[in-house]
Amino acid sequence: MYNSLILSIVTFIYGLAAVFYIGAWIFKKDSVGKAATITTIIAVIGNTIGIGLRWVESYQIGFGRAPLTNLYESLVFFALCIAVVYLYIEYRYKNRTIGAFATPIAFLAMAYASLSPDISDRIQPLIPALKSNWLIAHVITCFLGYAGFAVAFGTSLMYLFKKRDAEEKSPLLSRLPALSVIDDLTHRMVMFGFLFLTIGIITGAVWANSAWGSYWSWDPKETWSLITWFIYATLLHARLMRGWHGNRIAYISVVGFMAVLFTYFGVNLLPGLHSYGQ
């Protein structure tokens, strides 16, 4: 039970971090930006502890599984991945305004997991077919990929806002990184996400063969994962072979993340073998 309480508190810490990042961007206060970074680090630590306690509790009640197998647990892990990827980006690029676009996504994931009455935080056993060592590899790689795409979505919005304001030169948007930096970061995050999504699809296929005797069954989540993969493959191909950049890449990135969200949430409304919608 403590894990649920900790993760609920972490939800509000992520929200506070998002407020700090937005405040630092709007008011250009370095002290507020430092507070945002510290708050995000605290949220990541709390998020990790919550997942760890949930894992321990799973063993204590006899289920003995990784806490990554239902919608609640996947959202909690998704938020953690986004925050960790973002903190690396902040460290690498030394720019906190990106946090105003990235940390709200982590907060929304946690808020949806913790506050939605339709999502249960109860620890439930896995069905026998899904008890496999491939589960952890599959889920971790997929959600690292999703986290990369989430950050790319945030930077794509940054690019589109700043590009549209190129002539008016709003003081607020002028504080965002240069267009070339945002464009490069979007490309790097898409490559990161694409790599891990590819590994996730492969490990998922191996897991499916172990569980159901077939590498690919055209389950709705499998099908939409492939569609998402092709959207981002198109983005990378257009960038590499046709030299696309800027608005075109940003728009494809936004469309790609919409596909990620549908793969994650939308297909749960359809009958299938994956458990997140059950």
- In the chain, what are the domain boundaries? 1-126, 130-278
Q: Is the pLDDT of residue 127 over 80?
A: no
pLDDT at 274: 54
Of residues 276 and 49, which shows the higher confidence score? 49
User: What local confidence, expressed as pLDDT, does residue 230 receive?
Assistant: 97
**pLDDT at residue number 73:** 92
DSSP string, the chain: -HHHHHHHHHHHHHHHHHHHHHHHHHHT-HHHHHHHHHHHHHHHHHHHHHHHHHHHHHHHTT----S-SSHHHHHHHHHHHHHHHHHHHHHHH--STTHHHHHHHHHHHHHHHHH-TTS-----PPPGGG--THHHHHHHHHHHHHHHHHHHHHHHHHHHHHHHTTTT--TTGGGSPPHHHHHHHHHHHHHHHHHHHHHHHHHHHHHHHHHHS-S----HHHHHHHHHHHHHHHHHHHHHHH---THHHHHHHHHHHHHHHHHHTGGGGS--S-STT-
Each residue's pLDDT tens digit, 139-193? 999 999 999 999 999 999 999 999 987 666 788 888 899 999 999 999 999 999 9
Whether the predicted pLDDT of 237 surpasses 50: yes
Confidence of residue 271 (pLDDT cuts 50, 70, 90): low
Q: Quote the mean pLDDT of the chain.
A: 90
Question: Is the pLDDT confidence value at 242 over 80?
Answer: yes
Where does the pLDDT of residue 272 fall: very low under 50, low under 70, confident under 90, or very high at 90 and above?
low
- Stronger pLDDT, 156 or 3, i.e. the higher one: 156
Q: State how far the Cα of 174 lies from the Cα of 154, in Å rounded to an integer.
A: 16
* Least confident span in 11-15, 164-168, 199-203: 164-168
Q: What are the φ/ψ torsions at residue 68 (nearest 5 degrees)?
A: -140, 20
pLDDT at 89 over 70: yes
Q: What is the average per-residue pLDDT within 218-239? A: 93
Alpha-carbon distance 259 to 221, whole Å?
A: 11
Q: What percent of the chain has pLDDT over 70?
A: 94
Amino acid 168: pLDDT: 67
